[in-house]
Amino acid sequence: MAPTPSPGFVVPQGEPPTLYVEESERHRLEGEPLPEWVLTPRQSADLELLLEGGFAPLEGFLTEAEYVSVLERMRLPNGRLWTLPVVLDLPEARARELAPGARLLLREPEGMAIAVLEIADLYRPDRREEARAVYGTVDPDHPGVHRLFEATHPVYAGGRVRGLRPPHHYDFRHLRLSPRELRRRFRDLGWQRVLAFQTRNPMHRAHVELTFRAAREVEANLLLHPTVGPTRPGDVDHYTRVRCYERALHHYPEATTMLALIPLAMRMAGPREAVHHALVRRNYGVSHFLVGRDHAAVTQDRAGRPYHPPYAAQELALSLAEEIGLTIVPMAEMVYVTERAEYVTRPEVRPGETVLTLSGTELRRRLDEGLEIPAWFTYPEIAEELRRSRPPRHERGFVVFFTGFSGAGKSTLAHALGEHLRVNGRRAVSLLDGDLVRQHLSSELGFSRAHRDLNIRRIAYVAAEIARAGGIALCAPIAPYATSRREAREMVESGGGGFVEIHVATPLEVCEQRDRKGLYARARAGLLKGFTGIDDPYEIPERPDLVLDTTALRPEEAVHRIALKLEALGYIR
Ligand code: PPS
C-alpha cells in the first residue's frame, strides 16, 4: 500500500515578483545624472534578495513607519508578517546631500550599477531600541549588536528600489539559483514537497543524517540551501563551505537532494531570524523548513548566559508556520552511538550506550593543531577541505599587533621580533610600523579619532591581506581605541589569519622620560595638541594576548616572551 502523504504544505505555484525595470526604463535611468552610493557587501546581499523576490512582499528598503512597525510588532504596517529590518544605512554626510523624492543610484562594491532607490524618507534609528527588539540584548559583545553599534551608518534611507540588472557573481554560478530559477527547477523535477535546510557552517555526518532523516519523515525532497552572503565574523569562508556541501551531496541517495546557494546576509538574531529565513525560503518555493535548536543564534554571552532560550527560535517559527505558509520541521539533535556505529536522535540513545559529539570549538582546535579529525564525525574528503582552508597554525599567516603609548617600545619590539622570525622561520615577515605607515599609507591623516580609526583600518586591511596570503605582519601603531583594535582583529580573522594582540604597557611616565622624538615635551608645552596620554585618550586593552612593560625589560627578553606566547598559541614551533 502506498504511504498516505502526511499533511502539510506543498511547493507554491507561480513566479515570485522581481523588481527589475524594462530595458527602456533602464536606459533612461542610467542616462540621468543621479547621486550614487556604493553598497557595502551586506547591503548588496540584501538588495539582491529584494530584486530577485527573495524578500517579497518588500519592494524596497524599509521606510521609518515600516521599520518601527517591524521592530514593534514583527509586521509591516499592512499587517503582513516581517521580522527583521532590511535597511539601507548611510553616513550622515551622504544623507545630508539627499532628500525625500531624490533618487540614488546603487552600485555594487565592484562598480556595476544595480538599482535605483527612490528615497521616500531618511531617518535616524534608535540603535539601542533596534538591538533590543532584534537581538533581545544590547550587549556589545553580541556580533549583531556590535555590527549595529559600530559598523552601521547612522541614517537609514527608505523607499522603493527599481532593479537595473541582477548582481553578477563569478563564483559557483551554477549553484546560485534565484527564487524563480529554483521554483522552475522544482517544477521540472516534479518535486511537490521540498524541505529546505539553512546553514552557515560546513556540513558533517550528523547534518547529513539528520537532514536525510527529516526529509524522509515528512516525505519531502531535500534542498540544501546554505547562505553565501556575509555571515558571522570568523565563520569558515563560503568557498570552502561550498566545496564541503558539494562533497556532502554525494552521501545522499541520488535524485533525492539538491544544493543551491542563497546570498542571504546573516544577522545572528535567533528567533526573529528563524522566521525571516522561513519567509525567505517560502519565496524560494519550498514547502518545509528545518529549524533547530538555537537557529541563527549566538548561543551565549561572555558569562555563559544564553541570549535566548535554546528552543525560542523553534517555538516562534512553529507558532507562525500557517501564516508563513510552510511547514516548520523541528530539528532533532543527532549524536553518534559507538556501540551501534551510527547516528541517532538524542532521545533514542539507550541506557549504557556511549555517545560521541564534537563541538565546533573542538574541531577548530584539532585543525589548528593539525590533529586527526575522527571519521565518525565527518567524511575524509570534508576533513581534507577544512584542512586546506584552515591549515595548522604553524603553517598559517598571522598578525602580531602591538599597541601602547608613543615611546612604549612597540617599534623596537616589532623590529626585534621580525629579525627573530626571519632567522627562525620560513614565512615572509612584513613590518607595519606606526611611523612607516604614516609615511607610506596615511600621510594625509592627522590624529583626530576619525583619522586614527582610519589609520588602523588601513593597517588592518594590509595586515589581513598579508596573513591571508600566509605571511606574518607585525603592526606597531598606538591604536588607542578598543573598537578599532577589535575591528582589526575581525578583519584579520575573517581573512583566515591569526591575530595576537600585545599591549606594550610601559607606563606613561617612562615613555615621557624617554621622549626620543621630543614630542612629549612639545605636548606638555601645549605646542602639540591631542597627544595620546597627555590630552588624548588611550583605552587600555581588556584582554590582550600578552602584556609587556619595557621599563626594565631588554628587547631580547621581550622577544623571548613573545616567541613563547606564539609557540603556546601554535603559530610557531
Ligand atoms: S594611531 O593613533 O595609532 O593612529 O597613531 P600612530 O599612527 O601609531 O602614531 C604614529 C606616531 O605619530 C607620532 N605622533 C602622535 N602620536 C600620538 N598623538 C599625537 N597627537 C601624535 N602626533 C604625532 C608619534 O610619534 C607616533 O609614533 P610612535 O611610534 O607611537 O612613537
Four-way CATH pick for 393-569: 3.30.70.150, 3.40.50.300, 3.40.50.720, 3.40.50.12780: 3.40.50.300
- pLDDT (tens digit per residue) in 31-69: 999 999 999 999 999 999 999 999 999 999 999 999 999
Cα angle, residue 204 at apex, residues 201 and 206 outer, rounded to 5° = 115
Which residue has the CA at smallest separation from atom 7 of ligand 1? 434
- pLDDT (tens digit per residue) in 437-468: 999 999 999 999 999 999 999 999 999 999 99
CATH number 3.10.400.10 is the correct assignment for the domain at 23-163? yes
Which residue has the CA at smallest separation from atom 15 of ligand 1? 531
Cα–Cα distance for residue pair 469/496, rounded to 1 Å = 9
What's the pLDDT at 3?
Answer: 41
Q: Quick check: 2 pLDDT over 60?
A: no
- 90-106 b/e (C-beta count within 10 Å ≥ 16 → b): beeebbeebeeeeebbb
- pLDDT (tens digit per residue) in 119-176: 999 999 999 999 999 999 999 999 999 999 999 999 999 999 999 999 999 999 999 9
Across the range 298-306, mean pLDDT stands at 90
CA of 552 to the centre of ligand 1 (A): 23
Across the range 423-435, mean pLDDT stands at 91
CA of 456 to the centre of ligand 1 (A): 11
Which residue has the CA at smallest separation from atom 21 of ligand 1? 531
CA of 147 to the centre of ligand 1 (A): 27
Domains 23-163 and 173-335 share a fold: no
Which of 195, 283, 205, 227 lies closest to 6, judged by CA? 195
Which residue has the CA at smallest separation from atom 14 of ligand 1? 531
Neighbours of 279 (CB within 10 A): 26
Pocket perturbation via mutation, ligand 1, pick of 520, 532, 534, 538 by most ligand atoms within 8 A of CB: 532
Atom of ligand 1 nearest to the CA of 433: 29
Pocket perturbation via mutation, ligand 1, pick of 437, 447, 536 by most ligand atoms within 8 A of CB: 447
Identify the burial level of 75 via C-beta atoms within 10 angstroms of its C-beta, where 0-12 means exposed, 13-18 middle and 19 or more buried.
middle
Which residue has the CA at smallest separation from atom 22 of ligand 1? 531
- pLDDT (tens digit per residue) in 331-366: 888 999 999 999 999 999 999 999 999 988 899 899
Cβ atoms 549, 506 nearer than 8 A: yes
Which residue has the CA at smallest separation from atom 8 of ligand 1? 477
DSSP tally for the chain: helices H, then strands E: 21, 19
CA of 533 to the centre of ligand 1 (A): 11
Q: Which CATH superfamily is domain 173-335 in?
A: HUPs (3.40.50.620)
CA of 550 to the centre of ligand 1 (A): 18
Atom of ligand 1 nearest to the CA of 452: 4
The amino acid occupying position 351 is: P
Atom of ligand 1 nearest to the CA of 447: 20
* Grid coordinates belonging to 534: 597627555
Cβ atoms 511, 408 nearer than 8 A: yes
Cβ atoms 45, 55 nearer than 8 A: no
Atom of ligand 1 nearest to the CA of 438: 7
Q: In whole angstroms, what separates CA 519 from the centre of its chain?
A: 40
CA of 444 to the centre of ligand 1 (A): 13
Pocket perturbation via mutation, ligand 1, pick of 442, 516, 519, 538 by most ligand atoms within 8 A of CB: 519
* Grid coordinates belonging to 504: 606594550
Cβ atoms 533, 405 nearer than 8 A: yes
Ligand 1 interacting residues, C-beta cut-off 6 A: 406-407, 411, 434-435, 438, 447, 452, 455-456, 477-480, 517, 519, 530-532, 536
Cβ atoms 218, 327 nearer than 8 A: yes
Q: Quick check: 557 pLDDT over 90?
A: yes
Q: Quick check: 5 pLDDT over 70?
A: no
Cα angle, residue 494 at apex, residues 488 and 496 outer, rounded to 5° = 110
CA of 434 to the centre of ligand 1 (A): 7
Please give the backbone phi and psi of residue 511, each rounded to the nearest 5 degrees, phi first. Answer: -60, -40
Please report which helix (H) or strand (E) contains residue 431, including its range.
strand 429-433
pLDDT band at 1 (very low <50, low <70, confident <90, very high): very low
Distance from the first to the final alpha carbon of the chain: 65
Atom of ligand 1 nearest to the CA of 477: 8
CA of 410 to the centre of ligand 1 (A): 11
Which of 367, 296, 290, 298 lies closest to 329, judged by CA? 290
Which residue has the CA at smallest separation from atom 20 of ligand 1? 531
The chain-wide mean pLDDT, for the chain, equals 94
* Domain ranges for the chain: 23-163, 173-335, 393-569
Atom of ligand 1 nearest to the CA of 528: 20
Q: Quick check: 4 pLDDT over 50?
A: no
- pLDDT (tens digit per residue) in 72-88: 999 999 999 999 999 99
Pocket perturbation via mutation, ligand 1, pick of 406, 504, 536 by most ligand atoms within 8 A of CB: 406
**Cross-strand bridge partners of residue 196:** 223, 289
* Grid coordinates belonging to 389: 582552508
CB contact set of 352 (below 8 Å; sequence gap of 6+): none
Which residue has the CA at smallest separation from atom 26 of ligand 1? 406
Q: Quick check: 273 pLDDT over 60?
A: yes
* Active-site residue list: 199-201
Cα–Cα distance for residue pair 280/274, rounded to 1 Å = 10
CA of 406 to the centre of ligand 1 (A): 6
CA of 211 to the centre of ligand 1 (A): 55
Identify the burial level of 249 via C-beta atoms within 10 angstroms of its C-beta, where 0-12 means exposed, 13-18 middle and 19 or more buried.
middle
Atom of ligand 1 nearest to the CA of 407: 31
What's the pLDDT at 7?
Answer: 63
What is the DSSP code (8-state) at residue 501? E
Cα–Cα distance for residue pair 245/203, rounded to 1 Å = 6
Which residue has the CA at smallest separation from atom 27 of ligand 1? 406
Which residue has the CA at smallest separation from atom 18 of ligand 1? 531
Atom of ligand 1 nearest to the CA of 455: 4
60-61/155-163 β-pairing: antiparallel
Backbone conformation region of residue 554, classed left if phi is above 0, alpha if psi is from -120 to 50, else beta: beta
Pocket perturbation via mutation, ligand 1, pick of 432, 478, 520 by most ligand atoms within 8 A of CB: 478
Cα–Cα distance for residue pair 134/273, rounded to 1 Å = 9
